[in-house]
A and B are shown apart, each in its own frame.
Chain A
Amino acid sequence: GEDVEQSLFLSVREGDSSVINCTYTDSSSTYLYWYKQEPGAGLQLLTYIFSNMDMKQDQRLTVLLNKKDKHLSLRIADTQTGDSAIYFCAESHSGGGADGLTFGKGTHLIIQP
């Protein structure tokens, strides 16, 4: 079945780059997503990448996709205290069905001053 794995915690110093990693199993995924969840709130879509792309950059965010290794990463440059949140990796299901996305368990990004 489909599975998405992420580390549960990442601690970085303010101003450094954060790299959050994710592995997935469904090689037929069309899109891969990164969501951000702040405390007590819903999930907010940060960015996504189409499966035929290797990289996507959007301001401080860089997404890298290694389709051969089924590895996705999110790099946040110049990490700020406002970046402290849980980051979820998600993949669309093969076949493009309506049954939502498969999410990882989320990585808690902790910012040290």
Chain B
Amino acid sequence: SQTIHQWPATLVQPVGSPLSLECTVEGTSNPNLYWYRQAAGRGLQLLFYSVGIGQISSEVPQNLSASRPQDRQFILSSKKLLLSDSGFYLCAWSRGSGELFFGEGSRLTVL
């Protein structure tokens, strides 16, 4: 069966510090991978998606970036965090254009 893991689960970082959130999928190959951010009252916002190694599509311009160094690994990064980057970040995968399977989320607080 397929599983998805993301870490860390909770992160508290000062403004201006770097960020790295990691997500890995097991039990499938060549998945589509996604990073969403969930902010209070704003639902889920798609940040990045990837259909293959090294292929990243950005939906929202911001100071975040994503990378896919391996088939089942998706990383969300920032060089300098802003207060507005606080939120709940969710990684997800899909087989194609259908349903998404989500990780447990990473809570980021920027102080």
Distance of A31 Cα from B99 Cα, bound (Å):
8
B57 and A99 contacting across the interface, CB-CB below 8 Å: yes
B103 and A101 contacting across the interface, CB-CB below 8 Å: no
B104 and A42 contacting across the interface, CB-CB below 8 Å: yes
What residue of chain A has the Cβ atom nearest to residue B46's Cβ? Answer: A100
B51 sits at the interface (CB 8 A): yes
A98 and B96 contacting across the interface, CB-CB below 8 Å: yes
A100 and B94 contacting across the interface, CB-CB below 8 Å: yes
From 9 to 52 in chain B, residues with beta carbon under 8 angstroms from any chain A beta carbon are 32, 34, 36, 41-44, 46, 49, 51
B43 and A41 contacting across the interface, CB-CB below 8 Å: no
Contacts of A48 in B (CB 8 A): 99
Contacts of A33 in B (CB 8 A): 99
A44 sits at the interface (CB 8 A): yes
Q: Can you list 10 A-B pairs with a CB-CB distance of less than 8 A?
A: A43-B100, A45-B101, A92-B97, A99-B46, A99-B57, A100-B49, A100-B92, A100-B94, A100-B100, A104-B43
**Chain B residues with a Cβ under 8 A of chain A:** 32, 34, 36, 41-44, 46, 49, 51, 57, 59, 90, 92, 94, 96-105, 107
Instruction: Give 4 nearest A-B pairs by CB, closest first.
Output: A105-B43, A42-B102, A96-B97, A103-B44
**Chain A residues with a Cβ under 8 A of chain B:** 8, 30-31, 33, 35, 40-45, 48, 88, 90, 92-93, 96-101, 103-106
